Amino acid sequence: MAVITAILVVALVASAASFMAWQQQLWLRQVENLGAQAQSRVVALAALQWARSALAQDARSSSVDHLGEGWAQPLSPLPVEGGELSGGLSDQQGLFNLNSLVREGKASAADLAVFQKLLDLLQLPPGLAGAVVDWIDPDAEPTYPGGAEDMDYLALDPPYRAANRALTTVDGLYRIKGFDAARVERLRAFVTALPQATPVNVNTAPAEVLAAVAGLSLDQARALVAARKARHFADLADFRERLPQPEAPLNETLLSVDSRYFLVTGHARFGRAKAGCQALLEREATAWPKLVWQKNI
């Protein structure tokens, strides 16, 4: 009995010691992971400073923004101690700005027509444009067709009201009548939400957006996008001269060859941890680019 008792005691002690060692190892691994995660977040933020520097330098050297410039080239994986950093910049004015649908508190007929054509090109119901206008504009009158105001949203479960203010991100579409996950994802590559109404940069716009804003067919827009790889548009006069016959009159107030809003994305890996961040930057002519918003991804 004494021998058996001794064996059991030794087994229990060994088991307890093994469990304590495992717990200690687990705790150490958690501490290491938390440290690596914190370092990854700090390293990812370095992409933001890289982007600001690239945009400030570009503003001093050129008044035209196009995809052949240095800022448009992705940041190749850059080794850092224990990991790496990568990132890139994208021109947000190459996309259709949803907040341009309402200017000075009223629906913009020109921008509404552009958005409706973009929806049609993407095989989405053009009536969705009216719902976005009503979500942004300050009045309570539904826009025809497809509009929705408080009475539509208060009938939902749970109920809520129309925002009656500008969208802050494209994800705001999820709360608007007629939009579901599939439709939002279909639109995401072609639209943005900027703090103020903006023209579309014809040097960076994808073919679908270019077709919608310039009154072109999709094939005509794709041909222009292919041609600008060899020679970007120096100004709107150059763009106008190189246009095929548009389907509708060209509204140059909706177009530009330069941009002021850019999205920077940074990814970092440090040890076993990965982190990322996104930020919207506003660049003025001579000032250091301003941070509009920032989020972890």
Measure the CA–CA gap between 271 and 32, rounded to whole angstroms.
9
**Number of helices and strands in the chain (H, E):** 8, 11
pLDDT for residue 107: 95
Q: Which residues does 255 contact at the CB level (< 8 Å), separation at least 6?
A: 199, 200, 202, 213, 214, 236, 239
Q: Which two tokens stand for residue 192?
A: 């943005």
Q: Which domains does the chain have, with CATH numbers?
A: 2-93+260-296 (3.30.1300.30), 98-197+204-256 (1.10.40.60)
Whole-angstrom CA distances from 150 to 101, 107, 128 are 19, 17, 16
The predicted model scores a pTM of 0.86
- The answer to whether the CB of 289 falls within 8 A of the CB of 63 is no
Strand-pair partners of 274: 269
pLDDT for residue 35: 59
Strand-pair partners of 52: none
pLDDT for residue 292: 95
Q: Residue for token digits 């190749």?
A: 76
Q: Which two tokens stand for residue 266?
A: 């940074």
Q: What is the pLDDT of residues 110-147, one digit of tens each?
A: 999 999 999 999 999 999 999 999 999 999 999 888 99
Q: Which residues does 11 contact at the CB level (< 8 Å), separation at least 6?
A: none
Residue 210's nearest CA partner among 95, 127, 129 is: 95
For 151-200, the DSSP string reads HHHHTSSS------S--SSGGGGGGSTT--HHHHHHHHTTEE--SS---E
Low-confidence ranges of the chain (pLDDT < 50): none
pLDDT for residue 170: 97
pLDDT for residue 160: 96
Measure the CA–CA gap between 227 and 243, rounded to whole angstroms.
11
- The answer to whether the CB of 221 falls within 8 A of the CB of 210 is yes
